[in-house]
A and B are shown apart, each in its own frame.
Chain A
Amino acid sequence: MEDFSLRHDARQPAGGARKMAIVGVVASGNLEVLVERVVPERECLVEIRTTAEGFGAVWNAVVADFVDRYSPGGLKFSINDGGARPDTVSLRLAQAVRLMEVEQ
């Protein structure tokens, strides 16, 4: 297992008012993303725990692209990863942001 966390500045706060959401499951090639509105609104924090070791650079790139695209300010993402491919990671992160925008 490998743990690391990535902190980014965000252009603007994420939309919606929901406090928490979760998507995905921890399985081979899949991951779960728990998202919480708990960090300052111009910041974004992504904490990753993954079974696939040595992919730090890939995570860096995927998360940087995600933050650039969605500007999820104020959100902390906690990830349990079962070795998902980068496109699956991107999909789940995007789903998590959208869920935070949905009325509850």
Chain B
Amino acid sequence: MSTTSMQAAIAPAALTSWYEASARTRVRLLLDPESFMEFVGPEKREVSPHLKVFDLPEQFDDGILVGHGSLGGSSVLIAAQEGSFMGGAFGEVHGAKLTGLLRAARDIGSMPVLILFDTGGVRLQEANAGELAIAEIMRAVIEARSAGAKVIGLIGGRAGCYGGGGLIAGCCSALAVSEQGRIAVSGPEVIETNRGVEEFDSRDRALVWRTMGGKHRRLLGAADAFVDDTIQAFRDAALVLLEQVGGFELSTLTNEQVRLEARLRDFGSCADAVDIWTAEGVADAGAVPALPVNQFIAVADHVRRISHDTR
């Protein structure tokens, strides 16, 4: 770790990389200063009951912090996964914290939830508990949204947002991603292991980024906002999305059905992300991966406007 917690505490949000920061640093700098109050924090030592079976070290917060704070003066609930601890994977305690937070949001009905994803998916050592936790979280997201709470996902960490994390992200009201924010169900190594290197070469980093990375997700309409890799940029995006996103009702789902059917119709035969971007009308699709943030946002806003009632 090049950036210590001490330095990060002093560095302003605009200078701190989201990708490099720890979950705690992200939360501290994303929210209004000194506003974060943690629920069942590390001093409670609610560690995983299963890791010791595998002789693996525990972390006092089981790799996620949840709590309450303020963003731009308004109350929010917030959860942040620590991608450096076991790849940010969902275990029993880790998942239960997020489930409880979302159920609080459901019961309150008006307080938004920010989920700072950084996860490889299910924690294998407690696979059944982790898988079920994800199922519970998906349901809890929908219940919270149905009750009127907005649930915003922020994605740009080391571990990306893979496996069941990708499905939870797909349940959120809106997502903000940075270029580093990869979203997928099967990770590159998983596809390669199961289907062979001809199907997907996990060591081809350019392929990984343009298939699963933030730019493609934004151009596809899978993410609502594309941001620079700073905590300030994510904060700004969260504030804007909280203003923009709507509720969750049957029309949201029928709109999403139409949106996804159109995607299959328009891009279903494309072999590569570059073909999709070309089909969308990006003038020089091959140049997209190298585009600086502001130029990319301009291109994305030009070819695909995001409507906020289709997810």
Q: Name A's B-contacting residues (CB within 8 A).
A: 1, 20, 22-27, 30, 32, 34, 36, 49-51, 78, 80-82, 91, 95, 98-99, 102, 104
Collect the chain B residues with CB atoms within 8 Å of residue A91's CB: 4
Q: Judging by beta carbons under 8 Å apart, are A80 and B58 in contact?
A: yes
Q: Judging by beta carbons under 8 Å apart, are B42 and A49 in contact?
A: no
Q: Judging by beta carbons under 8 Å apart, are A99 and B60 in contact?
A: no
Q: Judging by beta carbons under 8 Å apart, are B59 and A26 in contact?
A: yes
CA distance A14 to B133 in the complex (A): 41
B295 at the interface (CB under 8 A from A): no
CA distance A98 to B84 in the complex (A): 23
- Number of A-B pairs, beta carbon distance below 8 Å: 56
Encode B26-62 as 1/0 by CB contact (under 8 A) with A.
0000000010000001110100000010011111110
A1 CB to closest chain B CB (Å) equals: 5
Q: Judging by beta carbons under 8 Å apart, are A25 and B57 in contact?
A: no
29 contacts between A and B (CB under 8 A): A1-B55, A1-B57, A20-B41, A20-B43, A22-B60, A23-B5, A25-B59, A25-B82, A25-B84, A26-B58, A26-B85, A27-B85, A32-B42, A32-B59, A32-B60, A34-B43, A50-B57, A51-B55, A51-B56, A78-B45, A78-B60, A80-B57, A81-B57, A95-B5, A95-B6, A98-B6, A99-B6, A102-B9, A104-B34
Give A98's nearest chain B residue, CB to CB.
Answer: B6
